[in-house]
Amino acid sequence: MTLPFIIFAGVAGLMFLPICFSVARAMCLYAVVSECQSQVFTLFGKVVGVLDEPGLHFPIGQFGAQALLIPFFGRREVVSTALRQHYLRGQMVNSEEGTPMGVGIWYEMQVNDPVAYLFVNTNPEGSLQANVASSTISTLSNLEMDKMLEDRHSLSRSVRTTVSPLSEKWGYRLGSVYIRKVFFTDQQMVHNITDKVVKRLVQVTSAMKQDGENRVGLIRSETAYKVSQKMAEASAARPAYVGAALNDIAKQDSEILEAVMDVMETEKLLESDASIDILPSSSNVLVQLGDR
C-alpha cells in the first residue's frame, strides 16, 4: 500500500465521516440537544418522548426500538426554550375622561412545556400577543388619566396576573410584563398640555426666584441689624474706655491730661467751623471788645 493511497484514503475518510454522522442523526441513532432547547419526538401522531437536557442522547436507549421508526413514520420537533421578549406598540385605550391614549407594553415569555406549546395551540405566540393586548386594553380602559400615567407598575402586574393562567395552559410561562409607554394620540391635546406645563414651569421658576430674593433680603437685614447692634454696643462702651484711659493718664501725669484735653478741645473747635478771635494775653478783654 503506497503512501499516496494512504493519504487519499485518510482524506476520503475525513470527508465521509460528517456524512455518516448526519445519516446517523437523521436515523435517530443519536441526538444532540443544545442549551435552551428541547426536542420532541412523535411517532404515528403520538408523542414518544422529549429530550430537554443539553448534551448527547441516544433515543433508542430512552424510547426503545420504536425510535428506529421515527425517521420514517414520525417527526422530531426542535423547540427553543430561551427567554424571548416582545414589545407591543400603540395599543389604543380610552381614559375615564374620554381621552384616546396609546400604550406600549413589553413582556417576556419562555417555553416550559414543549408538548403543550406544539400541540395545544397552533399559533401560541400570536395567541399570547393577542391575549396580552386584550388584557392591557381591558385593564387600562376607563381609568383616570393620572392613574394611567403614574401607576403603571401595579397595572403591569394586573395584566400579568390576567394572562398567566392561559399561557401556562398553552405551554409557556409569561415572565415580566411592563407598560413602558403611555402617550397621547391627539396632537392638539399634546400642544395644550405642553403649554400648560411650560406656564407652570415659568410660575414655579418665578416663585423660586422670588423666594431666593426674599431669603437674601432677610439675610441682609439680619446682618445689618447685627452689625448696627454691635456698633451701638461699641459706641456705648467707648466713653467708659476713654474715661478709664483718661483716669489712668491723670494718675500718672496731670500735665499730660491737660494737654490731651486741650488737643481734644481744639479738634472739636476745628470740626465745628466756628469763628475764633485771638486776643493777646496782656490786653484787657473788655476794652478790646468795646473797640470792636
SS3 labels along 226-284: HHHHHHHHHHHHHHHHHHHHHHHHHHHCHHHHHHHHHHHHHHHHHHHCCCCCCCCCCCC
pLDDT at 105 over 60: yes
Q: Do 107 and 155 sit in the same domain of this protein?
A: yes
Instruction: Give the residue, 186 or 120, on which the prediction is more confident.
Output: 120
pLDDT (0 to 100) of residue 144: 80
Out of 9-23, 214-228, 261-275, least confident range: 9-23
Q: Do 42 and 135 sit in the same domain of this protein?
A: no
pLDDT (0 to 100) of residue 280: 67
CATH number of the domain within which 121 lies = 3.30.479.30
CA gap 131, 127 in Å, rounded:
6
pLDDT (0 to 100) of residue 164: 82
Q: Do 179 and 88 sit in the same domain of this protein?
A: yes
Q: Do 89 and 72 sit in the same domain of this protein?
A: no
Give the mean model confidence (pLDDT) for residues 229-249.
88
pLDDT at 6 over 80: no
Domain boundary among 168, 190, 212: 190
pLDDT (0 to 100) of residue 1: 61
Q: Do 159 and 170 sit in the same domain of this protein?
A: yes
Out of 141-150, 157-166, 220-229, least confident range: 141-150
Domain boundary among 190, 221, 247: 190
In a domain, 62, yes or no: yes
In a domain, 41, yes or no: yes
In a domain, 178, yes or no: yes
269 — pLDDT class (breaks 50, 70, 90): confident
Q: Do 19 and 102 sit in the same domain of this protein?
A: no
Q: Do 179 and 165 sit in the same domain of this protein?
A: yes
Contacts of 285 (CB under 8 A, 6+ apart): 279
In a domain, 36, yes or no: yes
Out of 87-96, 173-182, 282-291, least confident range: 282-291
In a domain, 218, yes or no: no
Q: Do 44 and 104 sit in the same domain of this protein?
A: no
CA gap 125, 132 in Å, rounded:
10
In a domain, 25, yes or no: yes
pLDDT at 254 over 70: yes
Q: Do 117 and 95 sit in the same domain of this protein?
A: yes
pLDDT (0 to 100) of residue 170: 84
Out of 148-162, 196-210, 219-233, least confident range: 148-162
Domain boundary among 43, 59, 80: 80
In a domain, 291, yes or no: no
pLDDT at 167 over 60: yes
Q: How many domains does the chain fold into?
A: 2
pLDDT (0 to 100) of residue 206: 94
Q: Which domain holds residue 64?
A: 11-80
